[in-house]
Amino acid sequence: MNPVKIYVSRDSAACSVGAEETARAIVAEAAKREVAIELIRNGSRGLLWLEPLVEVATAAGRMAYGPVGAGDVAGLFDADFIHGAAHPLAHGPTADMPYLKNQERLTFARVGITDPRSLADYLEHGGYRGLDAALAMEPAAIVASVTASGLRGRGGAAFPAGIKWKTVLGAAAIQKYIVCNADEGDSGTFSDRMLMEGDPFVLIEGMTIAGLATGATRGYIYLRWEYPDAKIALDAAIAAAYAGHYLGENLRGGGKTFDLEVRLGGGAYICGEETSLLESLEGKRGQVRFKPPLPALQGLFGKPTVINNVITLASVPIILDRGADYYQHFGMGRSRGTLPVQLAGNIRHGGLVELAFGLTLRELLYDYGGGSLSSRPIRAVQVGGPLGAYLPESQFDTRLDYEAFADIKAMLGHGGIVVFDDTVDMAAQARYAMEFCAVESCGKCTPCRIGSTRGVEVIDRLMAGDAARQEALLRDLCETLTYGSLCALGGLTPYPVLSALNHFHEDFVTSGTRHARPAAVR
Amino acid sequence: MSSKAPRRVIPIKVEPPSALSAAERSAVLDACVRLKNLPGALMPLFHAVQEAVGYVPKDSVPLIARELNLSLAEVHGVLSFYHYFRKEPAGRHVVHLCRAEACQAVGAVELEAHAKRSLGIDFHATTADGAITLEPVYCLGNCALGPSVMIDDRLQGRVSNSRFDDLIARARKSAVNPS
């Protein structure tokens, strides 16, 4: 009899709640009971509240059990879970679970399904079809396809990818570069990490296609040090891709060259900003550059450079494989395709939800997220990372669309949604936004470097009394930051500060007189 | 000057004075030799030194500057820019505690207070027994399962105060870097 295939994720989020121990317990228990199993360490399905999630391959498809602690394993064997039997932790066929079933997984199509270490598995699940299509195309045709797909930068700025690529293609230079921005520093976001750990080949394929499209022969993945498991996954996949002639000289026998390596960051949030990332890659302080010149013309080492986020590059293979029309067909308005949304913070069903643009925040928070983890009312959500606005309940019907968010002075950013219940102190959150800016400022421009520290002081004085004068000062300071900063760090820090001030003004009255908030229960 | 005078070789690569131990010095030089020809070598180099030595010693800066043909200011400037590179030795285990918003939403502020209280140290400090160094971090990418900490390079989620104590107790018992 063939061994039973059992899947336990090796995603670092799954391992952070015991997937490693669960996997070991399954192996030990199977050995004890003399059951032949094949343990596959896949990526995470993205149902993070059910991690460690265990799946068993049965005749009826993969069956899900979770969250499975090491202590639950013997009981699962007793219940005959290896044949998909019922159990209190059973959720039936994984693919039929509503959280997953209703998603539109294009970029994350393979994450949680395949073994991220196996090139053969990648190929079996449609991998490298995009590259093969690209190899048969002229560079300009590849760029045209990416432009037609409507793909916009998923890192936050939402700049059309095709236009960036076209600029690099049109630039004459002896060396061009593809740089992947994997410095996913926004709190509430983890889609880059999940993708790199769960399907690293798709990123490699996307970067290779970008190389073919623009004439770049060398790529770098600038990865934050906080993601050591992603480093291991990427290094393994890159080695496998080289061994399989999907990277290097004359790749796939098509006469083209593309070399790729991973570089680690040093814990600087600002290095997620593209020009400071390039500085860092060059071995310098991660300080923001003036633009122009655009990185597309004078980027890494002064050469034309495509710099895109992980999800942007990882969305390219499916566009080349299925065609621009297929991808473009998803979405609304000028936001085409899908966005992998990350539900985070105080949320019952936290995880990754990839859907076409257009869903409302409320649908995500309640239909997918299941409300707050603490069961208290959701009071505020911060969308788009530490530089994103705090939205009150009255704005929960905003649709996920770059323009719709811009209209309410918010931003979708990298798709992270951080949920806070009614115990949150919004004045403290506003203060934290300024504090964070002060810690992470690169120091190049004065509004950000000094304004952030002054911002913390003004909020402290505001909370200590003298509210009216300090509030006026804070608004004035925010204006200076917005219009006087060199990059988005200083320029957008006013978003969380002013949104907290405008929508949750009651939290900004002097501590002595403010009404008591309910104490946190946990 | 007489053309018959023998040519003198002027040593331009003077070894800068340093208090590095022989092992540290050779680790730094080794990393330099291995990596100095990489484009943008400084970041990979600092990572390699920190991995080998445990931190980037102050006295390694002149050595690195000499090997990479950079100025002291350039090397020091880059080193001091990045939070991750430590200039002092750490404890046997480094605990990075997430301070970012998603973890705040599920109690990171309370966890931070508990960690500092129970360890008896502030951020960037090491416990008296040399076991634990506590550092802040701004997001570990575990935002649906916070509060999160990373102990050495293992991520831990849903870290309540008591789970934090258990993890610390386990770390104290293990020698170096169980990962």
Other C-beta atoms within 10 Å of B170: how many? 12
Q: Which of A402, A218, A321, A372 is nearest to B107 (CA)?
A: A372
Residues A254 and A363 in one domain: no
Mean pLDDT of A108-131: 98
Q: What is the pLDDT of residues A143-192, one digit of tens each?
A: 999 999 999 999 989 999 999 999 999 999 999 999 999 999 999 999 99
Examine residue B17 and state whether it is found in any structural domain, yes or no. Answer: no
Q: Alpha helices, DSSP H only, in A305-410?
A: 310-314, 316-322, 324-328, 361-362, 402-407
**Segments forming the whole domain that contains residue B111:** 93-173
Residues A164 and A311 in one domain: yes
- Tell me, yes or no, if B39 comes closer than 8 A to chain A by beta carbon: yes
Q: What is the pLDDT of residues A220-257, one digit of tens each?
A: 999 999 999 999 999 999 999 999 999 999 999 999 99
Residue B9 confidence (pLDDT): 73
Residue B15 confidence (pLDDT): 77
Assigned token pair, A328: 């473009």
Contact flag B154-A440 (C-beta cutoff 8 Å): no
Helix (H, G, I), strand (E, B) or coil at A71: helix
Residues A389 and A451 in one domain: no
- pLDDT grade for A511, boundaries at 50, 70 and 90: low
Mean pLDDT of A195-214: 98
Q: Please tell me chain B's helix, strand, coil percentages from 3-state DSSP, rounded to the nearest 5.
A: 40, 10, 45
A4-8/A37-40 β-pairing: parallel
Would you say residue A308 has pLDDT above 50? yes
Assigned token pair, B47: 């990572």
Helix (H, G, I), strand (E, B) or coil at A178: strand
d(CA A461, CA A511): 11
Percent of chain A residues past pLDDT 90, beyond the cut: 96
- How does A36-55 read in b/e, with b if 16+ C-beta sit within 10 Å? ebebbbbbbbbbbbbbbbbb
Residue B12 confidence (pLDDT): 66
Q: E strands of A184-276, at which residues?
A: 218-223, 259-264
> Looking at this protein, which amino acid is placed at residue B82?
Y
Assigned token pair, B69: 């043909």
- pLDDT grade for A509, boundaries at 50, 70 and 90: confident
d(CA A80, CA A76): 6
Would you say residue A521 has pLDDT above 90? no
- pLDDT grade for A200, boundaries at 50, 70 and 90: very high
The residue among B111, B150, B155 with the most chain A CBs within 10 A of its CB, best to mutate, is B155
> Looking at this protein, which amino acid is placed at residue A508?
F
Q: What is the pLDDT of residues A382-396, one digit of tens each?
A: 999 999 999 999 999
Q: Which of A277, A305, A275, A294 is nearest to A168 (CA)?
A: A305
Q: Which of A402, A438, A521, A379 is nearest to A150 (CA)?
A: A402
A42 with A10: CB under 8 angstroms?
yes
Which CATH number characterizes residue A193's domain? 3.40.50.11540
Residue A515 confidence (pLDDT): 47
Bridge partners of residue A480, in order along the sequence: none
- Tell me, yes or no, if B178 comes closer than 8 A to chain A by beta carbon: no
The residue among B43, B74, B95 with the most chain A CBs within 10 A of its CB, best to mutate, is B43
Mean pLDDT of A360-385: 97
Assigned token pair, B113: 């207070």
CA atoms within 13 A on the CB side of A52: 28
Query: With 0-12 CB in 10 A as exposed, 13-18 as middle and 19+ as buried, what is B152?
Result: middle
B119 with A194: CB under 8 angstroms?
no
Average pLDDT along chain A: 96
A390-392/A351-356 β-pairing: unpaired
Residue A393 confidence (pLDDT): 97
- pLDDT grade for A334, boundaries at 50, 70 and 90: very high
Which CATH number characterizes residue A373's domain? 3.10.20.600
Write out chain A residues lying below 8 Å of B157, CB-based: 13, 16-17
The residue among A418, A437, A489 with the most chain B CBs within 10 A of its CB, best to mutate, is A418
Contact flag A226-B150 (C-beta cutoff 8 Å): yes
Q: Which of A447, A469, A449 is nearest to A458 (CA)?
A: A469
Query: With 0-12 CB in 10 A as exposed, 13-18 as middle and 19+ as buried, what is A250?
Result: exposed
Residue B174 confidence (pLDDT): 86
Examine residue B141 and state whether it is found in any structural domain, yes or no. Answer: yes
**What is the phi/psi pair of residue A6, to 5°?**
-120, 135
Q: Which of A230, A302, A290, A311 is nearest to A263 (CA)?
A: A230
d(CA B83, CA A399): 37
DSSP at A180: E
To the nearest 10 degrees (0 to 180), the angle between helices A200-214 and A191-198 is 100
Which CATH number characterizes residue B101's domain? 3.40.30.10
Contacts of A216 (CB under 8 A, 6+ apart): A168, A176, A177, A178, A210, A258, A304, A305, A306
A309 with A181: CB under 8 angstroms?
yes
d(CA A259, CA A281): 16
- Report the Cα A384 to chain-centroid distance in Å: 10
**Segments forming the whole domain that contains residue A396:** 330-421
Would you say residue A459 has pLDDT above 70? yes
Total domain count for chain A?
4
Q: Walk along chain B (179 residues) and give the pLDDT tens digit of each residue.
A: 455 678 887 666 677 778 899 999 999 999 999 999 999 999 999 999 999 999 999 999 999 999 999 999 999 999 999 999 999 999 999 999 999 999 999 999 999 999 999 999 999 999 999 999 999 999 999 999 999 999 999 999 999 999 999 999 999 998 765 43
Domain boundary, last residue among B47, B81, B115: B81
d(CA A304, CA A301): 9
* Residue found by looking up tokens 């959720």 in the block: A91
d(CA A124, CA A292): 44
Domain boundary, last residue among B61, B81, B101: B81
Residues A209 and A188 in one domain: yes
This model of the complex carries an ipTM of 0.94
d(CA B44, CA B35): 7
d(CA A259, CA A436): 36
Contacts of A88 (CB under 8 A, 6+ apart): none
Residues A349 and A403 in one domain: yes
Examine residue B13 and state whether it is found in any structural domain, yes or no. Answer: no
Q: Output the CA torsion sign for A63, A68, A73, A78.
A: negative
DSSP at A271: G
Q: What is the pLDDT of residues A47-106, one digit of tens each?
A: 999 999 999 999 999 999 999 999 999 999 999 999 999 999 999 999 999 999 999 999
Residue A520 confidence (pLDDT): 46
DSSP at A96: G
Which CATH number characterizes residue A496's domain? 1.20.1440.230
Residues B73 and B111 in one domain: no
Assigned token pair, B145: 């399962």
d(CA B164, CA B172): 12
DSSP at A47: B
Examine residue A281 and state whether it is found in any structural domain, yes or no. Answer: yes
Would you say residue A138 has pLDDT above 90? yes
Residues B166 and B107 in one domain: yes
A380 with A504: CB under 8 angstroms?
yes
- Tell me, yes or no, if B93 comes closer than 8 A to chain A by beta carbon: no
Residues B144 and B98 in one domain: yes
Would you say residue A522 has pLDDT above 50? no
Which CATH number characterizes residue A95's domain? 3.40.30.10
Examine residue A522 and state whether it is found in any structural domain, yes or no. Answer: no
Q: What is the reported pTM?
A: 0.95
How big is the A-B interface in CB pairs under 8 Å? 160
Residues A243 and A357 in one domain: no
Contact flag B102-A344 (C-beta cutoff 8 Å): yes
Domain boundary, last residue among A68, A101, A134: A101
**What is the phi/psi pair of residue A460, to 5°?**
-60, -45
Closest-CA residue of B relative to A271 is B82
Q: Which of residues 47-86 of B touch A (CB under 8 A)?
A: 47, 74, 77-78, 81-85
Residues A92 and A10 in one domain: yes
